[in-house]
């Protein structure tokens, strides 16, 4: 594997690990969509940072992204506080306004200041091939700091995510922890913009968490799994996008993540759809056996084709068993017979002693 590809894949893997696990915090707080606004709102910051500094160094551009993303969030908060506009509407508004501004600035900059050479448009859909070694270093350091904070404030963060009011009642500085969570979300997003782009960044925040949640019901494991899923999709996505020239990385990573989510929803144990279907089927088989057992019991005291009312069978099994539906099912399969207005009996009753 050549050197550039190794850098690119490492970078994308790092981004997946960091954004996937940090994004989980936002998803568990039911605030994943905030990430979409922060990501889109980063664009004007990136362009302005380039125009003001003349530098195309990732650190400078990322700083611009973080500032304008945060400004958008602050704006949303003040709109919600001071007007009757609701949170989701404010989020959408901020996203549209900031992103619109970003696109205008981007096209203006490309005509005037040679932004095309700086490759600013890579921030729209992401281009992992533009990652440099020093970008990796920035990502690793920022990511380590952010994940370190999650570890240091592990139980406090967990409690605030699950039950803010109780955390406040215990005396935890909830306001401060909320701010920390927003900062972590901004870090999770800014770190991935160059590789995934502002438009699709939200998927790297939400999809790993959505997939991981299917596999585990433990907080720590969900975080870890989300990080791993992000890491895998990032590395693989970067590798695939390297196969053809000018293949944007963002959409490929997002497609991989989508497959991962679909697979998880389908096959994960306990929560997966296939598993649930299997369990439903087994429950139905057990219930059918129970109904047949009741009819056999009744057949001992009555003539073979003596019909028993549904209520008699129901009473033996309790109100929770859908006896009527099970009997119809058994009838279709020829196991029981129905005498309208009278009741049910087995098609092949056991030999009476």
Partner 1 sequence: MSWAIEIEDLTVAYQQQPVLWDVDVVIPSGQMTAIVGPNGAGKSTLLKAVLGIVRPAAGRIRVLGRPFRAQERRVAYVPQRADLDWDFPATVFDVALMGTYGRVGWLRRPGPAEHALARTALERVGMTNLADRPIGQLSGGQQQRVLLARALAQEADIYLLDEPFQGVDAPTEATLLEVLRWLKQQGKTIVVVHHDLSTVAEYFDWVVLLNVQCIACGPVGEAFTPDNLRRTYGGRMVTPVLSTTSA
Q: Which of 55, 78, 217, 296 binds partner 1 (CB under 8 A)?
A: 217
Q: Are 124 and 191 contacting, i.e. CB atoms less than 8 angstroms apart?
A: no
Stretch that binds partner 1, among 66-74, 85-93, 95-103, 169-177 (CB under 8 A): 169-177
Does the footprint of partner 1 cover residue 165 (CB under 8 A)?
yes
The string over 88-99, giving b where at least 16 C-beta atoms fall within 10 Å of a residue's C-beta and e elsewhere, is: eebbebbbeebb
In order, the DSSP letters of 218-238 are: -HHHHHHHHHHHHHHHHHHHH
Does the footprint of partner 1 cover residue 156 (CB under 8 A)?
yes
Please list every residue from 7 through 66 that binds partner 1, using CB under 8 A: 28, 30
What is residue 345's three-state secondary structure? strand
Q: Which of 52, 169, 274, 311 binds partner 1 (CB under 8 A)?
A: 169
- Comparison of 101 and 224: residue with beta carbon closer to partner 1: 224
Does the footprint of partner 1 cover residue 155 (CB under 8 A)?
yes
List all residues 6 or more positions away from 29 whose beta carbon is below 8 Å from its beta carbon: 161, 181
Does the footprint of partner 1 cover residue 254 (CB under 8 A)?
no
What crossing angle do the helices spanning 154-162 and 133-152 adopt, rounded to 10°?
Answer: 80
Q: Which of 216, 241, 242, 249 binds partner 1 (CB under 8 A)?
A: 216
- Comparison of 1 and 152: residue with beta carbon closer to partner 1: 152
Instruction: For residues 287 and 316, give the distance between their C-alpha atoms in angstroms, rounded to a whole number.
Output: 12
- Comparison of 79 and 253: residue with beta carbon closer to partner 1: 79
Does the footprint of partner 1 cover residue 163 (CB under 8 A)?
yes
Q: Encoding tokens for residue 15?
A: 């981004």
Does the footprint of partner 1 cover residue 86 (CB under 8 A)?
no
What is residue 343's three-state secondary structure? strand
Q: Which of 85, 144, 145, 166 binds partner 1 (CB under 8 A)?
A: 166
Instruction: For residues 16 and 23, give the distance between their C-alpha atoms in angstroms, rounded to a whole number.
Output: 10
Other beta carbons within 10 Å of 266: 12
- What is the contact surface with partner 1 in residues (CB under 8 A)? 28, 30, 152, 154-156, 158-159, 161-163, 165-166, 168-172, 213, 216-219, 221-222
């Amino acid at each position: 594997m050549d050197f550039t590809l190794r850098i690119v894949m490492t970078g994308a893997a790092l981004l997946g690990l960091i954004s996937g696990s940090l994004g989980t915090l936002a998803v568990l707080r039911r605030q994943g969509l905030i990430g979409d606004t922060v990501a889109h709102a980063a664009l004007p910051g990136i362009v302005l940072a380039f125009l003001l500094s003349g530098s195309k160094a990732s650190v400078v551009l990322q700083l611009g992204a973080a500032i304008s993303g945060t400004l958008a969030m602050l704006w949303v908060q003040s709109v919600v506080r001071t007007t009757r506009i609701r949170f989701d509407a404010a989020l959408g508004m901020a996203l549209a306004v900031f992103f619109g501004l970003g696109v205008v600035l981007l096209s203006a900059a490309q005509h005037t200041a040679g932004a095309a050479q700086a490759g600013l448009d890579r921030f729209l859909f992401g281009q992992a091939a533009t990652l440099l070694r020093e970008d990796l270093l920035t990502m690793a350091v920022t990511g380590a700091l952010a994940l370190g904070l999650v570890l240091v404030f592990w139980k406090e963060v967990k409690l605030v995510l699950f039950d803010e009011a109780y955390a406040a009642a215990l005396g935890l500085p909830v306001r401060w922890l909320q701010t920390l969570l927003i900062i972590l979300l901004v870090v999770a997003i800014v770190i991935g913009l160059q590789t995934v782009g502002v438009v699709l960044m939200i998927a790297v925040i939400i999809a790993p968490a959505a997939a991981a949640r299917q596999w585990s019901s433990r907080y720590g494991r969900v975080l870890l799994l989300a990080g791993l899923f992000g890491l895998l999709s990032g590395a693989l996505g970067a590798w695939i996008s390297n196969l053809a020239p000018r293949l944007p990385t963002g959409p490929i990573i997002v497609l991989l993540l989508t497959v991962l989510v679909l697979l998880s929803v389908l096959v994960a144990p306990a929560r997966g759809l296939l598993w649930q279907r299997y369990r439903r089927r087994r429950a139905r088989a057990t219930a059918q056996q129970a109904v047949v057992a009741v009819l056999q019991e009744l057949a001992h005291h009555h003539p073979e084709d003596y019909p028993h009312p549904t209520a008699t069978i129901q009473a033996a099994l309790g109100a929770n068993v859908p006896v009527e539906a099970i009997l119809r099912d058994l009838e279709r399969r020829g196991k029981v017979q129905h005498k309208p207005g009278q009741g049910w009996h087995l098609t092949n009753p056991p030999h009476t002693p």
